[in-house]
């Protein structure tokens, strides 16, 4: 399966004791279990290679012992097993519903074909009756009906109706936004834990700020800028504990610093301001000299 439900509250309450590496290992093990729909293999060397954590075999073992149960086939997780089983039941139900709809369509087509056959039979019977000679023909009169001259009228070809565009499906955009928000939070949380040795606070306000950050910086840049933010040693950010308020307030500035590899410190800002001031003084001096030369010549 390529999609599974993710309950943020349950996950956070069960994984608060994990280190950043163990947290990453747990998420990747979940992805592997849902994708393959099979027990996790027992060979730690091959397993660490599958989830791209070759240098952390002990963390993988600790996570397996905490959340998985070892059986003969490998390691299994009861929650994962139930989700996969539930998805299979839903798929079977959907298949039955589709079959019922298809049977209704086939019955409707059969009834329409039967009606068409009956209509053709009635038409043939009418033709037979029309061709049958009668014993009492109508008498010939000397006053035939006058001929009428009505020009043939043709219905003008109507313009083809434009097909309505199918309504835009926002499911893909919503899934991409949710995925970007999860990655951005994971990057911020991991970098925060590495710097302060503690997880950041997570609540409804934080979730809204993460969503706003993704909306301002884009789906791909937001996780990288969030991680870069925790490496900034600006006194302003340090005094505020690198909270999300400061990250959101300086989002575009931090993205520029991340993209260019140059931090805009207060010292550098003063240097740029002084350079611009000096250039203004030079321009004014050149204008004065030009006026003086012009007056001397005249």
Does residue 91 have a pLDDT over 80? no
Is 108's pLDDT higher than 80?
no
How far, CA to CA in Å, does 101 sit from each of 36, 90, 97, 104, 108?
Answer: 31, 17, 6, 5, 11
How far CA 261 is from CA of 231, 248, 265, in Å, comes to: 12, 19, 13
Q: Does pLDDT of 43 surpass 90?
A: yes
Residue 60 CA to its chain's centroid (Å): 29
In whole angstroms, how far apart are CA 297 and each of 185, 285, 291, 293, 294? 71, 19, 10, 6, 5
pTM over the 0.85 mark: no
Check residue 155 and give its pLDDT. Answer: 47
Q: What pLDDT was estimated at residue 81?
A: 81
Q: Over the stretch 200-241, which tens digit does the pLDDT of each residue have?
A: 999 999 999 999 999 999 989 999 999 999 999 999 999 999
Q: CA-to-CA distance for 94 and 183, rounded, in angstroms?
A: 32
Of residues 272 and 102, more confidently modeled: 272
Q: What is the pLDDT of residue 133?
A: 46
* pLDDT class of 143 with cuts at 50, 70, 90: low
Region 145-164: mean pLDDT is 56
Judged by average pLDDT, the poorest of 50-59, 147-156, 187-196 is 147-156
| Domain extents in the chain | 1-125, 191-264, 273-298
């Amino acid at each position: 399966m390529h999609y599974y439900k993710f309950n943020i509250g349950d996950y956070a309450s069960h994984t608060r004791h994990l280190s950043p590496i163990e947290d990453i290992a747990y998420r990747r093990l979940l992805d592997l279990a849902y994708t393959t729909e099979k027990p996790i293999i027992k060979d730690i060397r091959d397993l660490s290679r599958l989830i791209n954590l070759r240098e952390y075999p002990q963390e993988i073992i600790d996570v397996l012992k905490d959340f998985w149960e070892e059986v003969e086939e490998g390691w299994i997780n009861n929650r994962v097993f139930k989700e996969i089983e539930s998805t299979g039941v839903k798929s079977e139900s959907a298949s039955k519903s589709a079959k019922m709809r298809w049977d209704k369509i086939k019955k409707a087509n059969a009834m329409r074909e039967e009606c068409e056959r009956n209509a053709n039979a009635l038409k043939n019977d009418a033709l037979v009756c029309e061709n049958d000679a009668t014993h009492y023909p109508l008498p010939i009169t000397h006053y035939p009906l006058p001929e009428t001259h009505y020009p043939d009228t043709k219905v003008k070809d109507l313009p083809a109706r434009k097909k309505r565009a199918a309504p835009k499906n926002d499911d893909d955009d919503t899934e991409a936004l949710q995925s970007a928000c999860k990655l951005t939070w994971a990057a911020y949380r991991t970098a925060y834990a590495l710097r302060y040795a503690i997880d950041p606070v997570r609540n409804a306000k934080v979730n809204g700020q993460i969503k706003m950050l993704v909306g301002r910086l884009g789906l791909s840049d937001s996780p990288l800028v969030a991680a870069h933010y925790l490496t900034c040693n600006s006194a302003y950010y340090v005094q505020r504990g690198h909270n999300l308020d400061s990250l959101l307030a300086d989002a575009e500035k931090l993205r520029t610093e991340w993209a260019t590899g140059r931090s805009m410190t207060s010292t550098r800002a003063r240097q740029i301001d002084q350079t611009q001031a000096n250039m203004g003084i030079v321009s004014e001096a050149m204008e004065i000299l030009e006026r003086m030369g012009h007056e001397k010549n005249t």
